[in-house]
Chains A and B, each alone.
Chain A
């Protein structure tokens, strides 16, 4: 099948005036444009969250530093956490799901294009609302400040007594608004995957990315709903005299913890399952082998989805649950290591016996495997509740979850951007700059987050704006901060690479990676309608079947 014949030849139209173009982007309901909007928006917030992290690290570079005040430091870690989770990681994952799912399952768009646009703009305005707090957070006082209650905003610190002004309201309302957007997108993904697949694509022949995003969307609905409910309860407490979490009137601080973490832990899997999805697409193509054990990969994913709903209270081992309660959550948390381990072994088995190509996307995926292994093992350490009584709320935990969110999720994300950039832009990125980005980021990541485990073991709690000398923490904090600058340099190279390649990169063609899923059968970038004629597939790797008619996959599946 000649791929040129699928897409309609595009008319060489004169470029529209920029107002028209902007209008088209703002009013678009096209899944690819919305996907790109999500990604662009997430990139802006990534830079904002990165600046906040850098401010914190400069403050902690030496003991008793006076770079920022405690008030500013507390706002920085609250905004950094909230931004990175809700306005970087979730939107970028939704962006990729939006862009890729219809293309990979042979559909013309998402199931509900208007809901899609609505969801994006809800998320976008939620983020703007959060950042508006820098201007309007103090309410009547005028000066303005951002929320400073921490990204999990434990009660009763969020009560009017302890958080006067409007900064906490901006936090609550922004998550409420973007939460509606997340739920809308999740419904859309589920409907699209279940109802819009092309002819021949049974559930068992879907690309793994579609399966994993289906699981992710299910988790979003189950996890974000309690968070949204809790935000409404918090607003009722603050403005309508409710006492859900108001401990001074008999409310329960522990109930907020349950509400938050019953969202918060599945949220980790909401982010990491799409990361698994990228690895499951990239590793086979760059090892030149089919994914090893497709059915068990799907089963392990769905299993992770279910178990992840039953582990939330491992964030609360120090809260004073009963011995029986703690013991249950040790078991459920450790159980999740089993399906996760299966996935790691299956990716390894995919590489085993292949021909591994070390282009930038694969480099990021190999680093992901290594780092996710470590992140999983430090997770097992914290799953042992008594060990966690020492480790929780220390810098060890901070190191652990950054190993997951940066070392696993952000690494595969970078890999995914490089892998699909040729499809999205029609241009190849610069391999040399890609490798430079990779090595800068690997060095920076390991300097920062490997050494971050140490002060945790030496008793340094998280969220302290300063510390005294003589605690044995100084040298580690210095190294951690140095690593941040390597990471920042890496991100700078990344942005430059994308911009330069978009305008000057060499033309990519439809299928630069000799890959096997449907998105590579249409033009780069794909036309608005994706496929001139809707494809029909006979296996999980339709393009493999076309390229190898002598040895097609459908004979084995």
Chain B
């Protein structure tokens, strides 16, 4: 039984991210798809050009010196001419680097200002991101939506931008929100609210993960950002703001769920479950993954996850409730109705 579950939870993760990406990786920082990522990309190309030029010059000098001035048998026994310095040369290789530094500094300062001081338009979507060990909570203030691990935001047409502004908070330790194709990373620090913004230009799924070490399961604190068309996004918001759809056929699982400690941590809107320590499960089945992206969201992985969370994500904060495999299956069947 246990072996079967290990195999199940392993297979749940294996081969999950899909085929090889056209940009070498779905998280390539050099494949920007949003304005902040694009302006960082433009700056990095400029910095790479300057540093490559410096490298070529200095490397050539080094290579030339090593080859040209190597010891020769003809000069054996005689010391070369002793040169103690040259004010002109030393002045040259002080002033030229100073000029390069000034140029690079100005280029970087401009991009810092353009990203950090960007004005927030009135039609911007507002999302509060709360980092937890080891999952993400998303709240849409004003839209009455609370969800976990999979962020949905609307696409932003460059002609009529509808950017999303994120307020970044932490419930416990430090985390960092990093979806490389959309923006650079910003940390989520307790007692230190941060913010960042995204305006993805194309719909699709953008991957990332927590980039600040936050504890045992830092590695499986994955980020999934779904960029929807405006219509899809509005529909998604409409569905998510409803209470849970209760189905009497799964009342066995529901009763187990509501009479064990599950309800201390999880919320299912419209039921007795009102915990806030773990992810909101009201619309669990609208999500493609569970355990913060660690596994696909299927009945099988749900059973495995409920039965022994440590098999799928060792060190996660979800405890094993001591349920039998049948009880776990009943709870999973109940959860699988939450669409």
Contact = CB atoms under 8 A, between A and B. Distances in A.
Interface string A271-306: 000000000000000011110111110000000000
B218 A389 contact: no
B97 interface: yes
B80 A288 contact: yes
16 contacts: A71-B216, A74-B213, A289-B83, A292-B83, A318-B212, A323-B112, A334-B101, A378-B51, A381-B47, A386-B43, A386-B108, A390-B40, A461-B210, A468-B13, A471-B26, A553-B82
B211 A394 contact: yes
Interface residues of B, number: 100
B214 interface: yes
B285 to A, nearest CB: 22
A557 B211 contact: no
Contact of A469 (B17, B47, B220): B17
Interface in B160-212: 168, 172-174, 176, 178, 180, 183-187, 189-192, 194-195, 207-212
Given A70-B219, A154-B212, A338 B55 contact: no
Contacts of B70: 355-356, 358
Interface string A439-468: 000000000000000000111111111111
Given A74-B216, A338-B94, A390-B185, A157 B30 contact: no
B90 A296 contact: yes
Given A154-B174, A323-B113, A386-B111, A289 B40 contact: no
B43 A459 contact: no
A247 interface: yes
B115 A366 contact: no
A392 interface: yes
A342 B107 contact: no
Interface in B126-146: 133
Given A327-B109, A391-B29, A551-B82, 5 more contacts: A287-B80, A288-B79, A320-B192, A356-B66, A461-B178
A370 B90 contact: no
A327 B115 CA distance: 12
A542 to B, nearest CB: 15
A362 to B, nearest CB: 10
Interface stretch (B56-64, B233-241, B252-260, B264-272): B56-64
A357 interface: yes
Contact of A351 (B69, B93, B172, B215): B69
A341 interface: yes
Nearest to A355: B71
Nearest to A463: B213
Contacts of B218: 74, 463-464
Contacts of A319: 187, 189, 192, 194
Nearest to B209: A461
A162 interface: yes
A548 B79 contact: yes
B232 to A, nearest CB: 25
A472 B28 contact: yes
Contacts of B54: 377
B44 A390 contact: yes
Nearest to A327: B109
B43 A290 contact: no
A390 B108 contact: no
Given A384-B44, A471-B17, A355 B25 contact: no
Interface string B73-86: 00100011111111
Contacts of B168: 320
Interface of B: 10, 13-21, 24-30, 37, 39-40, 43-44, 47-48, 50-51, 54-55, 58-59, 61-62, 65-66, 69-72, 75, 79-86, 89-90, 93-94, 97-98, 101, 104-105, 107-109, 111-113, 115-117, 133, 168, 172-174, 176, 178, 180, 183-187, 189-192, 194-195, 207-220, 314-315
A549 interface: no
A179 B160 CA distance: 57
A236 B280 CA distance: 37
- Which size bracket describes the interface of A in this complex? 35 or more
A387 interface: yes
A458 B192 contact: no
Interface stretch (A82-90, A250-258, A485-493): A250-258
B62 to A, nearest CB: 6
A353 B174 contact: no
A8 interface: no
B191 A250 contact: yes
Contacts of A377: 51, 54-55
B11 to A, nearest CB: 10
A254 B65 contact: no
A330 interface: yes
B84 A290 contact: yes
B27 A389 contact: no
A43 interface: no
B28 A389 contact: no
Contacts of B315: 69-71
Contact of A253 (B14, B186, B191): B191
Contact of A342 (B43, B94, B184): B94
A332 B143 CA distance: 44
Contacts of B84: 290, 292-294, 556-557
Nearest to A316: B187
Nearest to A286: B71
A337 interface: yes
Contacts of B25: 458-459, 471-473
B186 A318 contact: yes
Contacts of B216: 70-71, 74, 148
